[in-house]
Each structure stands twice: as structure tokens, then as C-alpha cells.
Structure 1
């Protein structure tokens, strides 16, 4: 296996929220060459950013690094900056995008779109990835389309993803995302998909919250609360903060289960 094909597992771990596995897999691959090495490093730095290790990305990436990695650094800076500096970071991103020299670099378009998403600039993000042919670009396009309530277009892009590789982890995730938004019997299909991925790859805080959301939609509040307990335990094991999604989903469960205030306080601790 050579080139970008070596990164399939790395990409799966990243989109499943298995960031420690991203780092382990990237280390085991060692240095690659050309675009594959840039992509490997991009997954590493994006994983660190996702875990909140912003200092790592800011310090390790330099002006001599590939432009793609500089965008990851810029994204990390944006996430930790005060409001005025956030705008400066977005203006810098605008300059890189408008320059046009990276317009054909699909990885650049993905990481730039991710930063626009963090800034709430969905239109700018969608413009970069909407016509993309890679699974990464199509998957991000689907996320944005679902966020703006264009399920019809999301379904069209999902069909394209399936034509490229219906068995790919990202395609399966995108299928679950669309199913969750469609609702009804699709909630159970999404739940099955998430649980299959959990069985295959292991648990992540992202996957556990995705499972819990499906359970909440089906009014399986006790099961969802147990799933979210697993997410809290995993966060403690990883020595990371319990994330916002876990707190919000837990509160939703407790509300529907009509737990007393003291019970809520005890569980949330």
C-alpha cells in the first residue's frame, strides 16, 4: 500500500473521534512522501486541535510548513483567540483562499472549510467543498447541508459518496447523519450504524454521544443515560474535560426522566 491509500485507517479514526488512535497510527506509518506526508501531518495536528492541545499545533507548525498545515495552525489560533483576534484569523484565511494558488488542493479546501465552520461562516465553507470529489469533501458538504436544513441536497451528496465507496467509514457516518435528521424509523438505522462502528473501532466520546442522540430520539432515556455515563467515564480515563455535548445530552435525559434536582446534581458531578 502506498501514498494516500495508507491513510485510510488514519482518516477513519479521525472522523470517529478516536484521536489517540490517530496519533498512534500516524506514528506507526512514519514519514511518508509528498502529499501523503502532508495529509498524515494534517490529521495529526487536527487531532491535537480536536483534543484541545492547541499549543502543540501553534508551536510545531512554522511559516515553512505546507500551507495546509498553516491553516490548521490558524484554526487552532482562532479557537483560542479573543474576539478581535478571531476576526484577524478569519481575514488571514480569506487571503489564503482568495489567493487562488491552493484552489485545486482538496485537503486545503477541507481544512479551510472546517475553520469557516468554526466561525459560523457556513456559506463560505460550503463554497469550498460543495463540488469536491473526495469523501472528505463530500462528507463535510453533507454536514453543512444538514446544518442549513437542506436534507434533499445532503441525500444527493450521500448517493455520490456511496458510488465512490459505500463501505468507507466516512460514508457510513454520513449515512447515519442523514438518517438522524430524517427521523422516524431512520433513527434506529442510524443507531445500528453507530453501534456497528463502535464494535469495529471501539468507543469514543463522539460515537457515544451519537449513539445517545439516537436513543434519546427513540425515547430510550435510561439507555441513553447509561451511554452518556460511558462518555463521562471515558473522558475521565483520558484525563480530558467532559465535553458540552455530553452535558447537554445528559441534561435532556434527566429532564425527560423527571429526575429530582439533587439527583441531577449528583449525576452531573
Structure 2
């Protein structure tokens, strides 16, 4: 008989974007030393997801286990753009240390950081061997960013063979369905709908449903879902970016959401694309002036 999974609810809250709930319900008893380390890494990653980088940086000291040190590196990387190079240098140093290089959390954080850097090949060097459901799910994200849904589908099959009902397996399935498009969009919508019936509503679930609605042309429903997501987290970049796109399709002004996004997340892909388009337009105007 399998031992009870004391971290199931904690992980699930984290995977579905209920970060505050993960933090609030993390006081778990009778954990093994390994489970306690995993619990702490999820709690600190939840703080990082909420933008509380400094808390993770100050509370994880140099004597902490490798998994927590890796999480601290992620907080350092995200908190200070000027120190990204030194953080990546530290990460590379750790990854070259054979004693810790195969630590699953270190490999996961390496994959996340190199994915942020758009260095997908480097990310896959550390994540492609898999080993945990999170690493497989991250591989799915990386392959989708590389526009290789065929490789993403292979990863999904591995996840389905391991645990078809796992939250990350369902999420990965929805991501792939959205990327493939067409009739698969309805399947993705049903996955997010199922999440919204089983678990407390989060920005992640609401954005998933809203993106499906936009793909299906239901922009009014998408706007309702996105405004609900904005009420839950007024600073969530994906909600603001999706509201910009949704408002454009509804013929509504986008300036407020776009201004918020530019101020709070100047490196967001949508901000960069809009800035590049504006610069191209200005150059075109100057060339014919």
C-alpha cells in the first residue's frame, strides 16, 4: 500500500497558481526530511511567484540544502536584472559540480532560468532527462516555445503513462491543445472548466479558460473571465496582456491595461512586440516624410 502523499494539496495549489493558499496551508506535520525540503522549496517558490523575491533571498542562507539554494538563485535572477549575468555564472558553476548537478530542483530552476533567457537548447540540456512531473511539464513548455508541438506531445505521453490524472499532465495537455488549435481548443477549455469545478478559482485557471474563449471567438465571455482574474491579482502580467488582446477584438480601449503592463512588466513579450512595431512604424514614417 502506497504511503500517503502529505504534499499533494500543497503541490496542487502551487501548480494551479493558488500561491497564497500554498503558503497559508504549508504548516504540515510528520514530514520526512526530504518532504520538508520539498515543502520549503514550494513555499519559497510561491513567494517568488507573488513577487516577494527578497523574502526568499533573505531567509535561505548558505547552509540550506541544494534545492533551496537553487530556489534562492531563481529569486536573485528575477529580482535584479543587473545581476542576471552573475546569477547565471553561479548556476553554471553549480551545474558543473557532479555532486549536485543531478538535483531535480536545481535542474528545474536551470530550465526555468534558461527558458527566461530564450536559450532553449541550454534549458533542455538540464531538463530533457526528466525524472519528475515538473521537469516533464517544463519540457512541454520549452518545446511549445520552440514551436515543436510534436516533441511536446511525446513528453505528454510520458506524463500520461506515469499519471494520466496528475494536475500537471492535465495542464500540459491543455497547453498542447491550445498550441495545436482547431478542434483541440474545445478540449483545452474542458480541462480548465474541470479545474474550475474541482478547485478554487485562480488567475491561471481563469486565463486558461479566457484564452480558449478568445480562440473560439467568444470575446465577451473571455473579457468577463479576465476581469475576474484581474480582481484576484491586479498585477498578473498574463491577465493584463490577455485583456489588451481581448479589448482590441471587442473594439474597446487598451491603453489602461497596456500602461499597467509596461509599468509593472516592461520585459513582457507583448510589451517588447508592441515597442518593436512602434519603432518600425516610426522608421517607415520617417522614410517617407
**TM-score, normalising length from structure 1?**
0.90
Matching residue of 2:81: 82
Q: Number of residues paired by the alignment? A: 258
SS at match of 2:96: helix
Is 1:257 the counterpart of 2:246 in the alignment? no
Q: How does 1:1-269 map to 2 (within 5 A)?
A: 2=3, 5-27=5-27, 29-30=28-29, 32-83=31-82, 85-235=83-233, 241-259=234-252, 261=253, 264=254
User: Post-superposition shift, 1:202?
Assistant: 1.3
Cα distance in structure 2, aligned partners of 1:20 and 1:167: 24
User: Post-superposition shift, 1:258?
Assistant: 1.4
User: Post-superposition shift, 1:246?
Assistant: 1.2
Cα distance in structure 2, aligned partners of 1:67 and 1:36: 14
214-223 vs 101-110, greater mean Cα deviation: 101-110
SS at match of 1:223: helix
Cα distance in structure 1, aligned partners of 2:92 and 2:210: 37
Q: Does structure 2 conserve the Cα–Cα contact (< 8 Å) formed by 1:67 and 1:108?
A: yes
Residues 30 and 267 (structure 1 numbering): CA distance in 2 closer, same or farther, change over 3 Å? same
Cα distance in structure 2, aligned partners of 1:182 and 1:176: 10
Cα distance in structure 2, aligned partners of 1:114 and 1:30: 30
The Cα offsets for residues 132-153 of structure 1, whole Å up to 9 and x where unpaired, read as 1321111111111111011101
Cα distance in structure 1, aligned partners of 2:214 and 2:220: 9
The alignment yields a C-alpha RMSD, in angstroms, of 1.9
Matching residue of 2:284: none
The structure with the larger Rg is: 2
Cα distance in structure 2, aligned partners of 1:211 and 1:75: 28
Cα distance in structure 2, aligned partners of 1:71 and 1:26: 20
Structure possessing the higher relative contact order (Cα contacts under 8 Å, 6 or more residues apart) = 1
User: Post-superposition shift, 1:242?
Assistant: 2.4
Cα distance in structure 1, aligned partners of 2:102 and 2:133: 15
Q: Does structure 2 conserve the Cα–Cα contact (< 8 Å) formed by 1:31 and 1:37?
A: no
Structure 2 unmatched runs, 5+? 261-289
Cα distance in structure 2, aligned partners of 1:64 and 1:124: 28
Cα distance in structure 2, aligned partners of 1:173 and 1:190: 9
**TM-score, normalising length from structure 2?**
0.84
